[in-house]
Chain A
Amino acid sequence: ETGVTQSPTHLIKTRGQQVTLRCSSQSGHNTVSWYQQALGQGPQFIFQYYREEENGRGNFPPRFSGLQFPNYSSELNVNALELDDSALYLCASNRGGAYEQYFGPGTRLTVT
């Protein structure tokens, strides 16, 4: 088990709603990345935060946004939910500059 925690474990939302997912990074890790994993697929990079600033972004629309706090925990916000947003959302953390990324257990989001 890594020291990365995520909440909530599961949630169900309706199309058009907004959702906030939370991640606490492993102790000593100042970089957090978010990934979306659709069923049967590999994780896809959404964005990365380093020292409270977005440090890279994948091919996701602006309705996917994030924050990183001074304690390096992070939030992923998704506005105007679509059915295709149903997925496992994963948070990974690492020490800045380190290669190894450690994943949390994920949040399973279902959009109906």
Chain B
Amino acid sequence: QQQVKQSPQSLIVQKGGISIINCAYENTAFDYFPWYQQFPGKGPALLIAIRPDVSEKKEGRFTISFNKSAKQFSLHIMDSQPGDSATYFCAARDAGGTSYGKLTFGQGTILTVHP
């Protein structure tokens, strides 16, 4: 059962444009929602994260929007740069029972930013 659904699978934007990646979840026991950036051959790097008591969090060019009632959250990358080209994963942390602390990941979005 895929508990975190991510879209789109791939995304191409022009330099300076806005990149938007969406995720939806089902498990109401999730209590923390991070985004990770992964370059080829590297491990995922924590980019930005949000807790469900907040509707938006901004760090530099990266913003998370969170809609608790819809069980959806999204990553916005403003002024996208070629160096942002990578795979992005949304994730959700389980606060319940034997799965405490487990991160469930989306399928990933391959972002390509053209110069």
Which residues of A are found within 8 Å of B101, using beta-carbon distances? Answer: 31, 33, 48, 55-56, 94
**Which A residues form the contact surface with B (CB < 8 A)?**
2, 4, 31, 33, 35, 40-45, 48, 55-58, 90, 92, 94, 99-106
Which residues of B are found within 8 Å of A44, using beta-carbon distances? Answer: 105
| 29 intermolecular pairs with C-beta atoms under 8 Å apart | A33-B102, A33-B103, A35-B103, A40-B108, A41-B107, A41-B108, A42-B6, A42-B89, A42-B105, A42-B106, A42-B107, A43-B44, A43-B89, A43-B103, A45-B104, A48-B102, A55-B100, A56-B101, A92-B103, A99-B51, A100-B34, A100-B46, A103-B43, A103-B44, A103-B45, A104-B43, A105-B41, A105-B43, A106-B43
Q: How far is the CB of A37 from chain B (nearest CB, A)?
A: 8
- State A94–B46 Cα separation when bound (angstroms): 12
Q: How far is the CB of B98 from chain A (nearest CB, A)?
A: 5
B residues 82-109 touching A (CB-CB < 8 Å): 89, 91, 93, 98-108
Closest B residue to A102 using CB positions: B46
Are A57 and B98 neighbours in the complex by a CB distance under 8 Å? yes
Asked whether any CB of chain A lies closer than 8 Å to the CB of B61, the reply is no
Q: Mark B8-51, 1 if CB is under 8 A from A, else 0.
A: 00000000000000000000000110101000011111100101
Q: A44-B105, A45-B104, A101-B46 are in contact. List 15 more A-B contacts (CB 8 A).
A: A4-B43, A33-B103, A35-B103, A42-B107, A43-B105, A45-B102, A48-B101, A48-B102, A55-B101, A56-B99, A56-B101, A90-B44, A92-B103, A100-B34, A100-B46
